[in-house]
């Protein structure tokens, strides 16, 4: 199986998982690669600091639907055994036992999905004896198994590690300035040098909450790649799917034409560009919300009158607050488009007025004008032009 390139993942500023002394890391090499063909895949959903909004978004996916992926109804995709704290049929010890089985290599191949920020458990002394931020289940000694423990034990042997939502990808709101847990994204915790069994870095599908179809489509692409039925998913330097996050909000926004004409909204509810009021970040934010919309082709921030607040970006939320303020640089860019728009709008209105009329209407109202003469002269140069037909239509034939 091919592996992804290290280009763009230099690991600077990150503490690789290997340097934290993860005992489970060698397990990935011992198990070898994922078999090219497999009938089912276990997916273990690890929750950190989250609001469960990403779960709701994924459950609302329609292209393909989550239920279709889980039941194996999508051609060429294996059946998914999802171990999710809300959607799973197991509970209590039976639920946690599935995670333990994966640690022992009894659920290969498997993938992990992280929802929510990863807290810094090192802030609490005593290796868990003095408390913990987030945990699920207990070990043989009755001690809680923390969120970071599950990541340390399952990530090295996972076929793929996918972070869903901005909290899991970049830290999001729980990682905002002044937070008590020193929360971080999955890639920050595992290190930019992390690679799954398939050779993939942490795959990041950001959004607060993300578009459900973006997530399920990414999962489907990874599964097809794992079975040698599709090429390596094309990711950018931050592990985002390029085909989903390669363009800015502004380039696909249905209000973009108002921007180029310098025509900006002055009040809520306006259909015009929102860059000036209330201050949209769309021109510099990577997201496909305007084109894909929120659920089943319906909704989406700008499509329903809202502004972009940059929720898919690593700098969210701190670099985008206060939300209801013009982004830096918008004054200069909007001033330029206003100047250009002052010239473009009247020219377009004139062209629109001309094209909004039948040719017959023009002849009846204005007779033979200079524009018509120029039009005839232009077409007389062609061998197929019949000047007599035009004369007959004007009643000038002999």
> What 3 state SS string does 241-273 have?
EHHHHCCECHHHCCCHHHHHCCCECCCCCCCCE
Q: Which residue has the higher pLDDT, 316 or 374?
A: 316
pLDDT band, residue 393 (cuts 50/70/90): low
For position 152, what pLDDT does the model report?
96
* pLDDT grade for 18, boundaries at 50, 70 and 90: very low
| Per-residue pLDDT at 3 | 37
Place of tokens 């009329």: 357
**Model confidence band, residue 69 (pLDDT cutoffs 50, 70, 90):** confident
Mean pLDDT value of segment 212-237: 92
Element counts in the chain: helices (H) and strands (E): 15, 7
pTM beyond cutoff 0.75: yes
The answer on pLDDT for 346 being more than 60 is yes
Return the higher-pLDDT residue of 335 and 281. 281
- Greatest mean pLDDT among 35-44, 74-83, 256-265 lies in 74-83
Q: Please, is 64 exposed, middle or buried when counting C-beta atoms within 10 Å of its C-beta (0-12, 13-18, 19+)? A: middle
**Per-residue tokens: 10:** 């230099």
Give per-residue pLDDT as tens, 94-144: 999 999 999 999 999 999 999 999 999 988 865 556 788 999 999 888 889
Q: Which domains does the chain have, with CATH numbers?
A: 17-240 (3.40.50.700), 247-382 (4.10.480.10)
**How far apart, in whole angstroms, are the C-alpha atoms of residue 307 and residue 295?**
18
Query: What pLDDT, in 10s, does the model give residues 139-162?
Result: 888 889 999 999 999 999 999 999
Residue 36 binned pLDDT confidence (cut-offs 50, 70, 90): low
- Percent helix, strand, coil in the chain (nearest 5)? 40, 10, 50
Cβ–Cβ under 8 Å, residues 229 and 202: no
Residue 109 DSSP symbol: S
Helix axes 92-103, 147-154, angle to 10 degrees: 40
Which sign does the torsion angle of CA 161, 163, 164, 168 carry?
positive
Q: pLDDT-derived band of residue 369, with 50, 70 and 90 as boundaries?
A: low
Segment 247-256 shows an average pLDDT of 90
**pLDDT for residue 1:** 36
Give 19's pLDDT tier (boundaries 50, 70, 90): very low
Counting residues of the chain whose pLDDT is more than 90, the rounded percentage is 46
Average pLDDT over residues 263-268: 84
């Amino acid at each position: 199986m091919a592996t992804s390139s290290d280009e763009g993942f230099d690991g600077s500023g990150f503490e690789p998982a290997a340097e934290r002394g993860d005992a489970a890391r060698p397990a990935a090499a011992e198990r070898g690669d994922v078999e090219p063909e497999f009938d089912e895949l276990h997916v273990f959903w690890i929750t950190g600091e989250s609001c469960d909004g990403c779960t709701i978004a994924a459950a609302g996916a329609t292209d393909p639907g989550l239920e279709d992926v889980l039941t194996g109804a999508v051609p060429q995709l294996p059946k998914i055994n999802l171990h999710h704290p809300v959607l799973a049929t197991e509970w209590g010890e039976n639920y946690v036992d599935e995670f333990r089985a994966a640690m022992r290599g009894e659920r290969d191949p498997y993938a992990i999905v992280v929802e929510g920020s990863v807290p810094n458990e090192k802030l609490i002394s005593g290796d868990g004896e003095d408390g913990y931020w987030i945990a699920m289940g207990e070990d043989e000694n009755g001690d809680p198994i923390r969120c970071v423990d599950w990541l340390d034990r399952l990530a090295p042997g996972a076929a793929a590690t996918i972070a869903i939502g901005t909290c899991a990808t970049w830290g999001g709101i729980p990682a905002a300035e002044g937070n008590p847990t020193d929360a971080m994204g999955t890639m920050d915790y595992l290190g930019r040098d992390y690679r799954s069994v398939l050779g993939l870095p942490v795959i990041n599908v950001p959004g607060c909450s993300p578009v459900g179809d973006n997530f399920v489509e990414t999962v489907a692409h990874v599964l097809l790649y794992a079975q040698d039925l599709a090429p390596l998913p094309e990711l950018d330097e931050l592990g985002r799917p390029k085909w989903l996050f390669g363009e800015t909000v502004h380039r696909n926004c249905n209000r973009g034409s108002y921007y180029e004409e310098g025509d900006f909204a002055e009040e809520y509810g306006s259909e015009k560009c929102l860059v000036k009021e209330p201050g949209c970040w769309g021109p510099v934010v990577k997201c496909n919300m305007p084109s894909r919309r929120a659920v089943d082709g319906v909704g989406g921030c700008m499509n329903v009158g809202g502004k972009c607040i940059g929720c898919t970006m690593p700098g969210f939320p701190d670099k985008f607050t206060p939300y209801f303020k013009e982004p830096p640089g918008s004054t200069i860019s909007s001033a330029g488009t206003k100047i250009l728009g002052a010239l473009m709008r009247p020219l377009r209105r004139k062209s629109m007025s001309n094209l909004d009329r039948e040719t017959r209407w023009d002849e009846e109202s204005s007779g033979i004008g200079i524009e018509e003469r120029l039009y005839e002269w232009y077409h007389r140069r062609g061998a197929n032009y019949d000047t007599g037909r035009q004369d007959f239509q004007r009643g000038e034939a002999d």
